[in-house]
Amino acid sequence: MGSVLDYLKWRADLRFSRDPFNDVDALILAMLSYLPFKGIVPGIDEREKITLEETARRYFSKYPSHKDDPENIDLTVSPSMDEGLMQILKITSRSARFSEMRLSRFAEKTDFSAGQQFAALTYHLPHAKRHQVIAFRGTDSTLIGWKEDFELAYMEKVPAQESASDYLSRQVSILSGKVTVCGHSKGGNLAVYAASRLKGIDRSRLSRVISFDGPGFNFSLLPRSSFSDCANKVINYVPEESIVGVLLDTVGERKVITSSARYLFQHNPLTWGVERSAFTGGELSDTAQLLEETVEAWLGKLSLERRKAFIDALFDVLGASEGKTIDPKDGLKDLSKVIKNVSDLDEDTRKMLSEVLASITDQARDAILKAIREKLLTK
């Protein structure tokens, strides 16, 4: 079974005029959106576009230490996406397929007080007729980013979704030709949400909307009908043991793909199976199906007020409002222990947190805690 990096070795010499843009290409562009391109790619209010080749030159000039990453990565030993991103940037910037691609309109917002983590950029494909790709960044290592993911359980929309909607609406109105929208993790959720908010002729300009293992939506808060006009253009890729991609309700088609990793390590796209120019198909595991059903049932027991109080208290404890990040060396051995060890929690809040955690079945709680621990190890 090949991987994304193998795909680049096989296909990077083929221009888009010879081998049309495909979903593996979209994943590569979604992954590149994780890189800190502020001050490198022209901003949202600038008209300049720069090639991917020039982007890489500026990037490694600004971050020279990143040049030292190994040329070959054994993903079965080191499933770090950060290492893989360096290789993707290097390979694509030197390739006939990607190097002449132009990047523009980079936007980034991280607001700890408002609780928002957001980034997006636009790619202009070379040797393809007026085809652009807009990619939304997924969850980063800030606790604010993680809190926004959790807030999907009780909010009709989170701040990053509003930013994504504004970004896509603005870009579609000034671009000509077709637009593909994509994102990995929370970026996939943002892509689907923003696409669903387009109206009329702008919506008709959408070519594809692709969510790569991104969480869904809470249709008790956001009517399914609000997505109906774009649902036929949405595809959701999830690995066989997906945890993130099976949370909440899916819009559009779901496709399961194989992975060389296990459990939440499968959230890392570098582990996904690729053959020629497509992902290799798989089947959703029993564990992923159980988690999907259990979380849905658990959320159904909690009022929106209860969900909000729990999430706000939990992330205040963890320090989200202070701009803290998740350190994989520290880990979170057990969320209940974290809560019990915080001395400044008032009695009512402590009781509420304990009750909500206790409302999760033992099996679901073990699965969720295991997922969080493994997520930390992938950073």
DSSP string, 213-232: S---B-TTTS-GGGGTTTGG
Same domain? For 357 and 258 the reply is no
pLDDT at 137 over 70: yes
| The two three-digit tokens of residue 288, written as one number | 């992923």
- The tens digit of pLDDT for each residue in 158-175 reads 888 999 999 999 999 999
Same domain, 280 and 314: no
- pLDDT, one tens digit per residue, over 190-219 is 999 999 999 988 999 999 999 999 989 988
pLDDT at 239 over 90: yes
The domain boundary residue, chosen from 285, 319, 336: 285
Domain range spanning residue 272?
A: 4-285
306 and 170 together in one domain: no
- Give the pLDDT confidence score for residue 139 in this predicted structure: 78
pLDDT at 47: 93
Helices (H) and strands (E) in the chain, counts: 13, 10
For 293-348, what is each residue's pLDDT tens digit?
A: 777 776 777 777 777 777 777 666 665 544 455 444 444 444 444 444 444 556 77
Are 263 and 297 members of one domain?
no
259, 272 contact by CB (below 8 A): yes
Q: Are residues 80 and 146 in the same domain?
A: yes
**pLDDT for 371 beyond 90:** no
- Check residue 219 and give its pLDDT: 85
Average pLDDT of the chain? 81
* Beta carbons within 8 Å of 23's beta carbon, 6+ residues apart: 208, 210, 235, 237, 278, 279
pLDDT of residue 275: 95
Q: 93-97, 142-146, 152-156: which range is least confident on average?
A: 142-146
User: Cα torsion at 364, 369, 370, 375 (round to 10°)?
Assistant: 130
Based on the fold, state whether residues 188 and 135 are members of the same structural domain.
Answer: yes
Last residue of a domain, one of 285, 309, 338: 285
Q: What is residue 110's predicted lDDT score, i.e. its pLDDT? A: 77
For residues 238 and 371, state if they share a domain.
no
260 and 147 within one domain: yes
Average pLDDT for 226-246: 92
182 vs 137: CA distance, rounded Å: 9
Do residue 90 and residue 129 come from a single domain? yes
- On whether the CB atoms of residues 30 and 94 are closer than 8 A, the answer is no
Question: Which residue, of 253, 285, 317, is where some domain finishes?
Answer: 285
Q: In the predicted model, is pLDDT for residue 4 greater than 60?
A: yes
Q: Tell me the range of 121-125, 129-133, 142-146 where mean pLDDT is highest.
A: 121-125
Relative to beta strand 274-275, strand 253-257 is unpaired
Residue 265 CB neighbour total at 10 angstroms = 19
Question: For the chain, how far is it from start to end, CA to CA, in angstroms?
Answer: 24
CA 100 to each of CA 16, 42, 199, 322: distance values in angstroms, whole numbers, following the listed order: 11, 16, 32, 40
SS3 145: helix
pLDDT in tens, 63-95: 987 766 545 544 444 346 778 899 999 999 999
**Comparison of pLDDT for 66 and 231, the residue scoring more:** 231
Q: How many domains does the chain have?
A: 2
Q: Which CATH number covers residue 246?
A: 3.40.50
Note the pLDDT tens digit of each residue in 9-65.
889 999 998 999 999 999 999 999 999 999 999 999 999 999 999 999 999 999 987
The verdict on 204 and 326 lying in the same domain is no
Q: Is the pLDDT of residue 231 over 90?
A: yes
Residue 296's pLDDT is 74
The pLDDT tens digits of the residues spanning 358-370 come to 665 555 556 555 6
Residues in contact with 265: Cβ distance below 8 Å, sequence separation at least 6, in sequence order: 79, 259, 271, 374, 377, 378
pTM of the model: 0.82
Statement to judge: residues 281 and 317 lie in one domain:
no
* Nearest partner of 270 among 261, 282, 281, judged by Cα: 261
**What is the model's pLDDT at position 345?**
59
Counting beta carbons within 10 angstroms of the beta carbon of residue 82, is it exposed (0 to 12), middle (13 to 18) or buried (19 or more)?
A: middle
Both 277 and 319 in one domain: the answer is no
Is residue 141 over pLDDT 60? no
pLDDT at position 332: 44
